[in-house]
């Protein structure tokens, strides 16, 4: 389950807020820009409000925020005058953008012709960019080009995109609009497929251990890594 919080950026640098810890203020102090400090404190305040004031906020090897709450993942973003925080029991990526930005200028760096052609909806390039940024955070590896995070389908009625990632895994991106011109994207892995793969792998191990599969049986497991869902094919 994913809980999404999209809130207006506080007008003041709220270092005296009861939910803001001294370490939050110290962390925000490294930013020269007042707005960046407010953004930093705003998302931390949301996390502490929802997970407890004493929750430990840290960063992983790629610079993404983490918490010490078991089996809880977070992702944060800010844009315009809002901050977005996604809190989930699975890996998640979130991004927020204002449609007032010029997304045409660098289009070739993040969107293929096929992706652009998926929709003629107003603000589509903004939606694509926001989705790619959310997918980048979900994928969690530095240096991945946005063009490698491929949006292959869009359901306008549900407001969801289907995407494939460089390792072969699949993801879904939920698109929401706030205050008219703010676009928020939340990306998660397609967990049903992942769970199906885990079941197939488990079943195959049992069959092999019980010698139900002989050396004459051709079993092909295309397994990439812990995030990837793949295909099991068997021939008799």
What's the CATH number where 141 sits? 3.90.470.20
Residues 112 and 133 in one domain: yes
Domain boundary among the residues 34, 64, 88 is at: 88
SS3 state of residue 115: helix
Q: Which SS3 state, helix, strand or coil, does residue 102 take?
A: coil
**CA proximity to 184, closest of 110, 64, 83, 113:** 83
Range of the domain at 129: 91-189
| One domain for residues 152 and 167 | yes
From 61, 88, 115, the end of a domain falls on 88
Task: Give the number of domains in the chain.
Answer: 3
Query: What pLDDT is attached to residue 19?
Result: 85
pLDDT band at 180 (very low <50, low <70, confident <90, very high): confident
CA–CA distance from 2 to each of 38, 135, 177, 185 (Å)?
24, 15, 17, 12
Q: Residue 94 pLDDT > 90, yes or no?
A: yes
**Spatial separation of the C-alpha atoms in residues 196 and 4, rounded to whole Å:** 27
Average pLDDT across the chain, whole number: 84
CA distance 86 to 59: 15
> Does one domain contain both 96 and 185?
yes
Q: Poorest-confidence range of 47-56, 61-70, 110-119, 221-230?
A: 221-230
Residues 101 and 75 in one domain: no
Q: In terms of domains, do 7 and 59 share one?
A: yes
- DSSP reduced 3-state for 233: strand
Phi/psi at 199 (nearest 5 deg)? -65, -45
Per-residue pLDDT band at 200 (split at 50, 70, 90): low
- Are 4 and 83 members of one domain? yes
Contacts of 110-114 spanning 24+ positions with Cβ under 8 A: 110/146, 110/147, 111/147, 112/147, 112/150
Predicted local confidence at residue 170, as pLDDT = 95
CA 115 to chain centre: 19
Distance separating alpha carbons of residues 56 and 25, to the nearest angstrom: 14
How far apart (Å, rounded) are the C-alpha atoms in residues 32 and 20? Answer: 19
Count of Cβ atoms closer than 10 Å to residue 135 Cβ: 25
For 149-171, the pLDDT digits (tens) are 999 999 999 999 999 999 999 99
What does the alpha-carbon distance between residue 16 and residue 35 come to, in Å, rounded to a whole number?
Answer: 16
């Amino acid at each position: 389950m994913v809980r999404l919080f999209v809130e207006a950026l506080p007008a003041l640098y709220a270092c005296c807020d009861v939910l803001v810890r001294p370490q939050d203020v110290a962390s925000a102090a490294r930013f020269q820009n007042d707005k960046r400090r407010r953004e930093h404190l705003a998302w931390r305040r949301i996390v502490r409000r929802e997970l407890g004031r004493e929750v430990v906020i840290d960063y992983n090897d790629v610079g993404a925020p983490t918490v010490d709450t078991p089996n809880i993942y977070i992702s944060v973003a800010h844009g315009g005058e809002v901050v977005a925080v996604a809190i989930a029991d699975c890996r998640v990526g979130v991004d927020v953008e204002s449609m007032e930005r010029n997304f045409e200028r660098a289009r070739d760096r993040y969107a293929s012709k096929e992706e652009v052609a998926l929709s003629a909806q107003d603000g589509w390039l903004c939606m694509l960019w926001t989705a790619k940024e959310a997918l980048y955070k979900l994928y969690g590896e530095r240096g991945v080009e946005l063009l490698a995070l491929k949006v292959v389908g869009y359901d306008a009625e549900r407001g969801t995109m289907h995407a494939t990632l460089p390792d072969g895994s699949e993801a879904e991106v939920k698109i929401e609009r706030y205050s008219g011109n703010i676009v928020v994207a939340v990306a998660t892995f397609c967990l049903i497929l992942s769970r199906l793969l885990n079941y197939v792998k488990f079943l195959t191990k049992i069959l092999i251990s019980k010698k139900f599969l002989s050396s004459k049986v051709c079993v092909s497991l295309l397994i990439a890594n812990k995030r990837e869902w793949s295909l099991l094919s068997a021939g008799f």
